[in-house]
Structure 1
Amino acid sequence: MTILDKIIERKKEEVASAQSKIPLDHLKDNAFFRRETISLKESIKNKSGIIAEFKRQSPSKGIINNNVEPIDIVSAYEKFGASGISILTDHDFFGGNLNDVLSVRNDINIPILRKDFMIDEYQFYEAKSIGADVVLLIASCLSPAQVQEFTDLAHELKMEVLLEIHTENELKHFNSKIDLVGINNRNLKDFKVNLQHSVQLKNQLPKEVLSVAESGIYNLEDFKFLKEKGFDSFLMGEYFMKNTNPAKAFEEFASQI
């Protein structure tokens, strides 16, 4: 069983537990459920293209940074030009929670991606209720039919969809309704990083699709390489979060691009 298999098995338990505590219909009572969402696609076109991530830990790196509060980091991300914010809400493997989104939603005016392992329609209503503008669909966790179904649901809830792929076979999960396609430079099964592999996948996407380079961007040279190869956006978390002061790290990086 891979780490991804373990995450999905645990996620099924989490969703069942959440549904038993807060029925889906009750999620619609949250004030954020009625807010107008912000387009990540438009924000990428008008700003730096960086989707800056708040992430405490990961299965591959362990604890990255447990000593900072979300608002201190994401407000700086916004101030220094991030196109969007990615916030991990998985608890057991990434140290996140729903409150990490709730606690900052009223204080920033750029789109928030709820980054989690979305396997059940309940999670989409949950994402909407906490103020997310975008949801992540991971192709390796879903069938093409599920991606289609979940994309339709997200759009019904006025949220955009970022589809994450890593293999050529996962290109079949793409459909014309997808808003953005993220290509994970890191293999979720063995955590190896291959930027050239991501470029090859990107070149097989329709040219009009906004592409996002995800994970494994360790320095300015990696960023410039991927930008030169035509990526529109860059999801970066560890690069900033591993610093004692992630906000300062982002400010310095943004000044160099």
Structure 2
Amino acid sequence: MNILDKIIERKKQEIAEAKSKISVEQLKDSEYFGRPTFSLKETLKSKSGIITEFKRQSPSKGIINDKVSPLEVVSEYEKFGASAVSILTDKDFFGGSFEDILSVRNHINIPILRKDFMIDEYQFYEAKSIGADVILLIASCLSPTQVSEFTELAHALNLEVLLEIHSEEELKHINKNVDFVGINNRNLKDFKVDLQHSVELKNQLPEDIFSIAESGIYNEEDFKFLKEKGFDGFLMGEYFMKNDNPGEKFGEFISNVSI
């Protein structure tokens, strides 16, 4: 069983536990369920194009940064021009929580991507209830039919959909309704990074879809390479989070790449 399989097995247990405690109707009564959402499509065009990330740890890297607060970091991200912020909500493998989103929602005016392993309709109501604007669908966890059904549900909840793929086989998961296709430069099964592989996949995407390069962007050269290849957006987490002050590191990065 690879790490992705382990995460999904644990996620199924988490969802069952959550359903036993809080109903969908209770989620609908939450403070944030009815709020107007921010559009990543709009902020990708009007800001830097970079989706920054708040991530404490990962299965491949262990602890990345567990010393800073979400509000401290994402406020700086917004100040320096982030198009959105991705916030991990998986607890066991990434050290995240719903509270990480809830603690910043009223303090920033850019979209929040709930980054988790979405395998059940219940999770979409959770995402809406904590103030997310965008959700991540990971093709390697889902069938093309599930991607289509989950996209429809997300849109019904006014949530945008980022579909993540890594292989040519996963191109079949793309449908005309997904808002963005993210190409993960890192293979979730063995964590190897290959930027050229991502470029080759991007060249096979439908022409009218927003493309986002995800993960494994370790320096300014990587970023410039992917930007030159035509990616519309970039999801970057570890590069900033491994610093004592991730927000300042992002500001420095923006200055150096002259966006």
TM-score bin (small chain): over 0.9
One-letter amino acid of the structure 1 residue matched with residue 106 of structure 2: N
Identity %: 75
Alpha-carbon deviation of 1:208? 1.3
Alpha-carbon deviation of 1:247? 1.2
Alpha-carbon deviation of 1:206? 1.1
The 5 A counterparts of 1:168-187 are 168-187=168-187
TM-score, normalised to structure 1, is 1.00
SS at match of 2:32: helix
Q: Distance in 1 between matches of 2:65 and 2:195?
A: 25
Q: Distance in 1 between matches of 2:21 and 2:66?
A: 28
SS at match of 1:162: strand
| Matched residue, 1:155 | 155
Alpha-carbon deviation of 1:207? 1.4
The 5 A counterparts of 1:45-124 are 45-124=45-124
| Matched residue, 2:199 | 199
Q: Distance in 1 between matches of 2:5 and 2:246?
A: 31
| Matched residue, 1:3 | 3
2:231 aligned with 1:231, yes or no?
Answer: yes
Unmatched tracts of structure 1, length 5 or more: none
For these two proteins, the number of residue pairs brought into alignment is 257
One-letter amino acid of the structure 1 residue matched with residue 162 of structure 2: L
| Matched residue, 1:30 | 30
| Matched residue, 1:248 | 248
SS at match of 2:211: strand
Moved beyond 4 Å, runs of 4+: none
Per-residue CA deviations over 1:204-240 (Å, capped at 9, x if unaligned) read: 0011111000000000000000000000100000000
Q: Distance in 2 between matches of 1:79 and 1:247?
A: 9
Q: Distance in 2 between matches of 1:83 and 1:192?
A: 27
SS at match of 1:250: helix
Q: Distance in 2 between matches of 1:214 and 1:100?
A: 21
Q: Distance in 2 between matches of 1:104 and 1:16?
A: 27
Q: Distance in 2 between matches of 1:69 and 1:57?
A: 14
